[in-house]
Amino acid sequence: MMLIFIIDDEPAMLASAERAVRAAAPAAEILTFRRAQTALDAITQENRKPDVVFTDIRMPGLSGLDLAVRVRGACPSAKIVFVTGYDEYALDAFRIHAHGYILKPLDPERVKEELDALASDAASPDSRPAAGEGLYVRCFGYFEVFWNGSPLKFGRQQTKELLAYLVNREGDACTTGQIADTLWEDEVDEKALKNRVRVLIGDLRSTFKGIGMEHLLIRRSGWIAVNRALLDCDFYRLLDGDMREVNNFDGSFMQQYSWAELTAGRLYYHYHDE
């Protein structure tokens, strides 16, 4: 049986939301809470693991945003849906897709659409990243790059690692020395390492040029970066507040690269903090 949590500090809104969710999911077990902390205690102390959490955003004490982070840490499989009367959150605070956010007051039809969308995502969690047209970069789990739905081929394996490092920097520029220190931290021949980096940069530029995407690289004298604004990537969607990626993220990030552990830890403690 599906377990659904509903959290709202306003009694009238909580009662209205409960009626809408019960109408949309009559077979589900539904628990309501007026305080986010009480809902979190039900998970951590009573071992009640919700499948879906409908939560208000603006609440005294622990906010809905803070609650979402802690729920994802205590119960990673739970899906979070924000419910609020403030539509600026949808327009400004989040870059979301079809779901992850519902305006008050809830109505059964909209709740049913949301639950169906969540169920569809859960049934095929890996189908979306590789299915679209164009370039798509996946950082969760193992780092992978797709072009029109198929893995992109690189001339050298470390060219792919170079791209992963540039993506990890979130668009910040880096020098050949910084790249060399990261990719070959145990080697000391600085001149030889910088030459290796130049070869990899040339190979990456050639790879992108071959698919007409060379504009994704920003190159200046002595440094290089990726144009984050033009790159479709699950990592960047997460940072931009895409609730679908928040719900998909399980804590794993660029698993094949040891230098990515720092970012993996930062993301895990932010989105899975108990």
Mean pLDDT, range 12-40, rounded to an integer: 96
pLDDT of residue 85: 76
Mean pLDDT, range 174-182, rounded to an integer: 91
| Residue 128 covered by a domain | no
Same structural domain for residues 61 and 171? no
| Residue 129 covered by a domain | no
Amino acid at 41: D
Same structural domain for residues 143 and 38? no
| Residue 21 covered by a domain | yes
Same structural domain for residues 103 and 159? no
Domain boundary residue, one of 122, 145, 161 = 122
| Peptide bond just before 105 cis, omega within 30 deg | yes
- By mean pLDDT, which of 12-26, 102-116, 118-132, 252-266 is the weakest? 118-132
Token pair belonging to 236: 């960047």
Residue identified by tokens 């622990």 is 62
Same structural domain for residues 258 and 172? yes
- By mean pLDDT, which of 152-156, 199-203, 234-238, 268-272 is the weakest? 268-272
Task: Name the DSSP class of 215.
Answer: G
Same structural domain for residues 107 and 168? no
Same structural domain for residues 146 and 265? yes
pLDDT band at 121 (very low <50, low <70, confident <90, very high): low
Which residue from 234, 260, 241 is spatially nearest to 135, judged by alpha carbons?
234
Domain boundary residue, one of 70, 94, 122 = 122
CATH number at residue 217: 1.10.10.10
Same structural domain for residues 116 and 173? no
pLDDT of residue 123: 57
| Average pLDDT across the chain, whole number | 85
Domain boundary residue, one of 91, 122, 153 = 122
User: Per the structure, how many domains does the chain have?
Assistant: 2
Range of the domain at 34: 3-122
Considering the chain, what percentage of its residues have pLDDT values greater than 70? 89
Give the Å distances, CA to CA, from 191 to 78, 120, 181, 197. 50, 52, 12, 10
Same structural domain for residues 31 and 151? no
pLDDT of residue 9: 93
Residue 249 C-alpha from the chain's centroid: 5
Same structural domain for residues 145 and 34? no
CATH number at residue 94: 3.40.50.2300
Mean pLDDT, range 224-244, rounded to an integer: 87
Separation CA 38–CA 102 (nearest Å): 22
> Could you report the per-residue pLDDT of 65-80, keeping only the tens digit for each?
778 878 877 887 888 8
Considering the chain, what percentage of its residues have pLDDT values greater than 90? 50
Same structural domain for residues 106 and 141? no
Same structural domain for residues 142 and 116? no
| Residue 115 covered by a domain | yes
| Residue 88 covered by a domain | yes
Same structural domain for residues 55 and 146? no
